[in-house]
Structure 1
Amino acid sequence: MALGRKEIFVYAHWDGMEASFLMGSLFATPSRGKEIFSFEYDKGWLQSDYAQIIDPDLKLFEGAQYLTDEKSNFGIFLDSSPDRWGRVL
């Protein structure tokens, strides 16, 4: 694992699911004063009946997926991030 790289496990637990299901991992890697984000679906998730596209920038395939330089993170994860005031706190 790269120095300073963080792994965040992403789970689904939607209505109708008996338990949480690992969807994949979001990785944050420091690079030149900012973080580069990538996401990798869990193989079990991709093979499950629950597999679905959760973000327009994340396709349903194995392996790391990266964003273009114009975007700082995947939209689905930005929606769950603290806003400016939350970061100040």
Structure 2
Amino acid sequence: MASVHNASLTVEKSFEAYRKWVAMEAVFFRIVVFPNGAVKKEAKSISFAKMDDNEFSELYRASFNVIWNQILHKYFESEADAERAVNNLLGFAS
């Protein structure tokens, strides 16, 4: 049986890479087919200025669910608590 050695990994601190990861996990991507038949998922470009309220809400909810399931559930008691924190950071809280 071959042994597996842990390699030293470096975390990339890139907002764009993180945004693309969230978009892909939130199923906000398109399929690209290359001439050789290879298929790749590519995160969709996001333009909030071109989105209607419904599309923005769908993207926000799907993205929030990804971030909740992967990260935020470790730090907040509930999704509502996390939403309040987001709104406070964005200045939307009353």
Larger Rg: 2
Normalising by structure 1, we get a TM-score of 0.29
Q: Which has the larger strand fraction?
A: 1
Normalising by structure 2, we get a TM-score of 0.28
